[in-house]
Amino acid sequence: MKKIIIATHGELALGIKNALELIAGSMAKEISTYSLTPGKSATDFVAEIEKEMIDHPDQQFIVMGDMYGASVVNAMLSLVNYPNGVLLSGVNLSLALQVLLDGSEMISDESIDEMIKEAQKGIVRIQLDQIELEEEDF
């Protein structure tokens, strides 16, 4: 079974989890969140995640962080050394929802790559003329 973890700067992780609970209901209750707030260190929660990964070697851990190259994801780089760990950066609601709703016990690398592509498609600049064209289609 897979374990989903979201770790971010501030309370973003908790906000994503709350949104997932609204959309997907009780499925989202099992998501663990970690928030880097003033006075805390990301290395503290990374040690906790590593311990859990070591204690549950047959469980896949999908860990999603907010920004590639920023302190939270950088602190979690060691997680890729574990065969049961997958580290993703740039978490958004679309990506987290896809990971949550995937029914597999373990998500394949190919499926994860597809999920990332799909999540990226949702990041678009919407312009007025585009909205007007879409309204005319109805």
Domains of the chain listed by start with CATH number: 2-136 (3.40.50.510)
Q: What are the tens digits of pLDDT across the range 25-44?
A: 999 999 999 999 999 999 99
User: DSSP letter string over 45-112?
Assistant: HHHHHHHHHHH-TTSEEEEEES-TTSHHHHHTGGGGGSTTEEEE-S--HHHHHHHHH---SS--HHHH
- Least reliable range by pLDDT among 3-7, 13-17, 43-47: 43-47
Q: Which residue has the higher pLDDT, 138 or 29?
A: 29
Report how far residue 90's alpha carbon sits from residue 120's, in angstroms, rounded to the nearest whole number. Answer: 9
Contact 39, 32 (CB under 8 A): no
